[in-house]
Structure 1
Amino acid sequence: MADTDTNVIDGLRAIVGDKACLDTAADMQPFTTDYRRLYHGKALAVVAPASTQQVSEVLALCTKHGVPVVPQGGNTSLMGGAVPDASGNAVVLNLRRMNQVLEIDAVNDTMTLQAGVTLQAARAAAETAGRLFPLRIGSEGSCQIGGNLSTNAGGTAVLRYGNMRDLTLGIEAVLPDGRVYSSLRGLRKDNTGYDLKQLFIGSEGTLGIITAAVLKLMPLPSATAVAWVAVKDPHAAVQLLTQAKRTAGQAVTAFELISGPALSLVLASMPQQSAPLPGVHDWMVLIELSSGGDAEGLDATLMAILEQGMESGLIVDAAVAASMADARAFWLLREEISDAQTREGGSIKCDISIPLSKIAGFIAEASAQVLALAPDARMVIYGHMGDGNVHFNPLRPKGTPAAEFLAAHYTQVSQAVDGLAHRQNGSISAEHGIGVAKRDDLVHCKTPVELALMWQIKRTLDPGNLLNPSKVLPLPAGTDHRATASSASTIGTAQTPARG
């Protein structure tokens, strides 16, 4: 180990303590590999600061020595955005020790908390105070608020409540040189210049490390109604959503699209679970209504939606949750789709956002293009149809090894799906972020002006390119990989992927 590396590690230990600074390969392994085991890297050290002051001191030390820093929360990123590259030069800064809910203001309907609080803990704290924090993600037990902010997380309730940008009133973030930006005021109106917090939300830790936030809380619903519905096709699903919003208004909390192969995959991996409906259906939706009114009235509203759908020929069959246990069982089937793909291996993940009016046509055209390229692929298609977000994930055929399928089809299929989304004024990343997996694809869907502006912001806040280097921003054509970074950084060198 070089003297500089030793000095850095000694300095880190002095800041965070011996137990919160790891520097052996075995100890660091959980922090240098993503949870799906698809991206692998190396690190100089892993540190877990316990306060914003410690984060500030760590960043100041790393900037002084030209050492890259990779921010990490729950390490649930699907795009490789929270894992260091293969150089071993970077320090991973994990926020798990900063896990305190600092304040719940039930009158102001706000919650102030540190970035290392898990989403599950944040939701539980809000409910204890009789309030709702509405962000819902399948990984809520491990993902952290800082990561949710850094990726502008969405989830299943965006249709009603919005994504993290909509749910955030203020943040605290540490800049690469150690300075602390704070807007933890909890104001819904603050027209005093640029809304700087929005720079950090969705930036995946490339501009600053979010250490705390003030989040909006909502009234806790007193009633929910859930149904699992088989529909004719995605076009019928869109029409049913329109009818649901007309009948129930803002009570429509979630409207999730699920393809037949997606449900079959989950049921095969969870034999203890059963399908909500008899028979095999090509397309289904999971509908949830919620309100502060009485349960009987909400149930009647849901039944009215289903009856209208049946009468107009949109619905093939439907099952209504008769209890909270039924509702949880329905949601479990939806939430397990992602992990079922991970267990199966060989999934090509596309996280698409499309205007709702175009979503049915997109699914049909994208499916045709994919099946022309990979005729036996299982079309695992699901997602948050209510806000135009589709997880379009062609999966290897049974009997075909994952590596073989991905080597033959990954590039062509992902480019076909992403290209179609871009041509229809959609996005190639609705909620998963960019990380390294989609970084180089941005040159095809962002204008030169957009990319230049993003680089200008990056260089202003992080002139040494030390904060989560090689993530999000593609290098300008003809630029040497080391030209925009310090000698310690390996900008442009992606983590070693082992797609499966």
Structure 2
Amino acid sequence: MCHRARMIQKSEFIEQASKLLGSRGFTSDPDLVSPWLTDWRGRYTGAAIGLGSPASTDEVSALVKLCSQHEVAIVPQGGNSGMSGGATPDNTGTAIVISLRRMNTIRALDKDEMTATCDAGVILQNLHEAAEAERLRFPLTLGGKGSATIGGLISTNAGGTQVLRHGTMRAQVIGLEAVLPDGQIFDSLTPLKKDNRGFDLKQLLIGSEGTLGIVTAATLRLLPEIAGRTVIWAGLPSITHARQLLLHSQKMAGDRLEGFEVLPAHCLSAVLDHLPDARAPLGEPYPWNALIELVGDADTIDSVAPLAEAMLEKAFEAGTIQDATIAASESQAEAFWQLRDSISPAERAIGPAMQHDISVPVDRMAQFVEAAVPAVEERFPNSIAVAFGHLGDGNVHFHVLAPKDTVPGEWEMGDGKKISGFVHDLVTEWDGSISAEHGIGQMKVDELGRLGDPTALSIMRSVKQALDPKGLFNPGKLVPPE
């Protein structure tokens, strides 16, 4: 197709999209589109024909059909807070971004059945507040809860700090609505505890990063509210001791153990430098820190605080921990969690880093960290490797910070890429995954093609071809080319 013909076709598409969605629903104004073309980390910036902001599932369907007719690629976007560039278009300018932000209604909240049905654009924190108003809770949270949307969390199968007890986003979804690449609406919102009518298609869409369909709504499970919590900060000599403390906590607390996070001294120091009013929980620094949360309902809350004290007493006796404190108030508990949730922005303020969201078998994570940190720092002198996160589910965020005075951009494309390849090779050798909860996006698609199981990759490509034969849904993401 010649350049003039492409320009005419683009103009026709813009005109029809504008007519379909109106001025609030579609724009090609570069100043209005530009803010949505760069990912949260600032690592990827693309170009787009325009920005579509449909207000309903029917409008999403109609826009998808129009895109299919004109063979315009689609990049779905929720809160634009992803960590792998999965919601950012490439730089060809041949795609549109479809934002689900206007679809932000909680359609129903059933207190008796403990479910919520909501649009994809509902912000996670708003769902938390709606559930809390009914004395319920949604059991998934993360640092970006103020911007992350339900559709984005489903599309990436997000994790967070409560996976240890409640599982990933996949475990919270009991019904799903999505628009497929041909514009058909897949409606499986009604939650059925038993349904054996073939493949569980909603599970195929969860974690597919917008490559197979656009999630427009979901029915999610809720849980009874907690009556209270006890939050512990412990100082430890090593991550191996953290693993021992985890096993000890699981044995003593059982399902009252809500969260177990670990972070090394470097991460805590970075956060304390970054947050002007932050204070270290303990009187002196320790090589490793564990953040533990125990919760109780109305029947068990009175036993939680004594349980926490007994857990710590036995851990001290065993030499597992060196020091510990129990949050004296809810505000102090929140302050402890703010230290954990502020690691990524604190590191970003330090300078360039390569972030790796990896998992290995739970029982080998401590060993992996103890082996991988010195291996990376020896191979790449003057870099600093740190690991933090969700020790209890085998997922840590393995970050490698650039040497001082590194030029941002140049380092990531040079040594940074080599570091990521080295880390991913190590993870693969340890029978792990190069993406535990942040998705593949465009950041890891080549690495998945290099290291992924050939059979699994073949199945993924076959499914993609079957559902999206024109290749218009989030091209260049998740599914490696052959």
Q: Which residue of 1 aligns with 2:399?
A: 393
Q: CA deviation at 1:272?
A: 1.5
Q: Which residue of 1 aligns with 2:344?
A: 338
CA distance in 1, matches of 2:219, 2:448: 31
CA change 1:269–1:129 in 2 (3 A) is same
Q: Which residue of 1 aligns with 2:124?
A: 119
- Matched ranges for 1:26-65 at <5 A: 26-65=31-70
- Matched ranges for 1:225-236 at <5 A: 225-236=230-241
Q: CA deviation at 1:331?
A: 0.3
Q: CA deviation at 1:444?
A: 3.1
Q: Which residue of 2 aligns with 1:285?
A: 290
Q: Deviations over 1:257-301 (max 9, x none)?
A: 101111111111112211111222111110001120354410111
Query: Which of 63, 68, 71 lines up with 1:66 in the alignment?
Result: 71
Query: Which of 116, 132, 135 lines up with 1:130 in the alignment?
Result: 135
Query: Which of 307, 311, 317 lines up with 1:305 in the alignment?
Result: 311
CA-based RMSD: 1.3
CA contact (8 A) 2:377 2:384 kept: no
Q: Which residue of 1 aligns with 2:165?
A: 160
Q: Deviations over 1:226-274 (max 9, x none)?
A: 0111112111111111110110101111000101111111111112211
Q: Which residue of 2 aligns with 1:359?
A: 365
Q: Which amino acid aligns with 1:277?
A: L
1:465 has 2:452 as partner: no
Please give the secondary structure, in 2, of the residue aligned with 1:19: helix
CA change 1:407–1:55 in 2 (3 A) is closer
Unaligned runs of 5+ in 2: 1-5
Please give the secondary structure, in 1, of the residue aligned with 2:258: strand
1:261 has 2:269 as partner: no
Q: Deviations over 1:49-76 (max 9, x none)?
A: 0000000000000000100010000001
CA distance in 1, matches of 2:420, 2:367: 18
CA contact (8 A) 2:139 2:162 kept: yes
CA distance in 2, matches of 1:378, 1:442: 25
- Matched ranges for 1:406-417 at <5 A: 406-417=412-423
Identity %: 42
Q: CA deviation at 1:418?
A: 1.3
Q: Deviations over 1:74-114 (max 9, x none)?
A: 00111100011000110100000000001111121111000
CA distance in 1, matches of 2:312, 2:247: 12
CA contact (8 A) 1:369 1:416 kept: no
CA contact (8 A) 1:266 1:337 kept: yes
CA distance in 1, matches of 2:411, 2:198: 51
Q: Deviations over 1:444-497 (max 9, x none)?
A: 332221111101100111000000001011111xxxxxxxxxxxxxxxxxxxxx
CA distance in 2, matches of 1:420, 1:132: 38
Q: Which amino acid aligns with 1:335?
A: D
Q: CA deviation at 1:370?
A: 0.8
Q: Which residue of 1 aligns with 2:3?
A: none
- Matched ranges for 1:196-235 at <5 A: 196-235=201-240
TM-score of the pair, normalised by structure 2 = 0.97
Please give the secondary structure, in 1, of the residue aligned with 2:441: coil
Q: Which residue of 1 aligns with 2:380?
A: 374
> More displaced, 88-97 or 18-27?
18-27
CA contact (8 A) 1:266 1:333 kept: yes
CA distance in 2, matches of 1:250, 1:316: 25
Q: Which residue of 2 aligns with 1:99?
A: 104
Please give the secondary structure, in 1, of the residue aligned with 2:261: strand
CA distance in 1, matches of 2:122, 2:341: 21
Please give the secondary structure, in 2, of the residue aligned with 1:349: strand
CA distance in 1, matches of 2:305, 2:381: 42
CA contact (8 A) 1:104 1:112 kept: yes
Paired residues in the alignment total 476
Please give the secondary structure, in 2, of the residue aligned with 1:63: helix
CA contact (8 A) 1:259 1:379 kept: no
Q: Which residue of 2 aligns with 1:276?
A: 281
CA contact (8 A) 1:176 1:208 kept: yes
Q: CA deviation at 1:404?
A: 5.2
CA change 1:344–1:188 in 2 (3 A) is farther
Please give the secondary structure, in 2, of the residue aligned with 1:17: helix
Q: Which residue of 1 aligns with 2:389?
A: 383
Q: CA deviation at 1:405?
A: 4.1
Q: Which residue of 1 aligns with 2:332?
A: 326
1:455 has 2:449 as partner: no
Q: Which residue of 1 aligns with 2:88?
A: 83
1:443 has 2:449 as partner: yes
Unaligned runs of 5+ in 1: 477-500
CA contact (8 A) 1:119 1:141 kept: yes
CA distance in 2, matches of 1:279, 1:379: 22
* Larger RCO (CA under 8 A, 6+ residues apart): 1
CA distance in 1, matches of 2:227, 2:404: 44
CA distance in 1, matches of 2:131, 2:102: 20
TM-score of the pair, normalised by structure 1 = 0.93
Please give the secondary structure, in 1, of the residue aligned with 2:338: helix
Q: Which residue of 2 aligns with 1:173?
A: 178
Q: CA deviation at 1:305?
A: 1.2
1:13 has 2:6 as partner: no
Which stretches of structure 1, 4 residues or longer, exceed 6 Å deviation after superposition?
none
Q: Which amino acid aligns with 2:386?
A: V
Q: Which amino acid aligns with 1:29?
A: S
Q: Which amino acid aligns with 1:214?
A: T
